[in-house]
Amino acid sequence: MLQVTLLYASRFGQTQAIAQALADNLIKLGWQVNCQNIMQQPVPPAHGMHLLLMPVFFGQPWQQATQWLADHRQRLSQPLLAMVSVSLSARKQQYREVTNNPFLAKMREQLDLPVLFEAAIAGALELEHCNWWEKLMLKRILAFGRVNSRLAAKLVFTDWQQVEQLAEDIDQGYRQMLANQSKLLSSQS
């Protein structure tokens, strides 16, 4: 059975919901998944694979989560199984492409760890939890993107099919990588 520790940070709960959906899909595919909210300051296990979900706020990975990662970087698996950026920009198809997503690039640079799989997933906007300055900024950003922020206090942009597909891609890709390694070892014997 394949095992992974899924590490996530969540400010309002959407990244946690995405992490749980990803974990549920990996479990259905035969994985054993241990979810840990890094804001509760867990020490990641020094063994096994790690999958990281990081929320982005105003163009930066969440500072508190970034600090936790800096403190625990040496304990993270190398390579990371996967790194996922959760942001509002990923509601646009062009920013779901890992090569076009500036937040994944920032996360990659900050962590400086090899990563097997990357994804950019759209999160949610919960205006009721934002202070006045954040509300003002978010309303301007959404107006620029032609989204009416008065529709609801919570706007969910997450594509749950994308989350399910990510689990399938991780499962198939990792199993294929293991099969290739096994063939290589067999051919060397």
Cα–Cα distance, 26 to 123 (Å, whole number): 20
Cα Rg of the chain (Å, integer): 17
pLDDT given at position 146: 62
Please state the domain extents for the chain. 3-123+158-188
Would you state the CATH architecture of domain 3-123+158-188? Answer: 3-Layer(aba) Sandwich (3.40)
Q: Which long-range contacts (CB under 8 A, 24 or more apart) does 177-182 make?
A: 177/116
Q: Which contiguous run of DSSP H or E holds residue 134?
A: helix 132-144
Token pair for residue 43? 């020490």
pLDDT for 107 = 82
The Cβ-side half-sphere exposure at 6, using a 13 Å CA radius, reads: 24
pLDDT tens for the chain, 189 residues long, are 899 999 999 888 899 999 999 999 999 999 999 999 998 888 888 888 999 998 887 666 677 788 888 888 888 877 889 999 998 888 888 988 988 888 888 888 888 888 999 999 999 877 777 777 777 776 776 676 665 555 456 778 999 999 999 999 999 999 999 999 888 888 886
Q: What is the pLDDT of residue 164?
A: 98
Name 86's bridge partners.
Answer: 55, 121
At a CB cut-off of 8 Å and minimum separation 6, what does 163 contact?
Answer: 18, 21, 22, 25, 121
Residue 34 has a pLDDT of 95
Instruction: Report the pLDDT value the prediction gives residue 4, as an integer from 0 to 100.
Output: 95
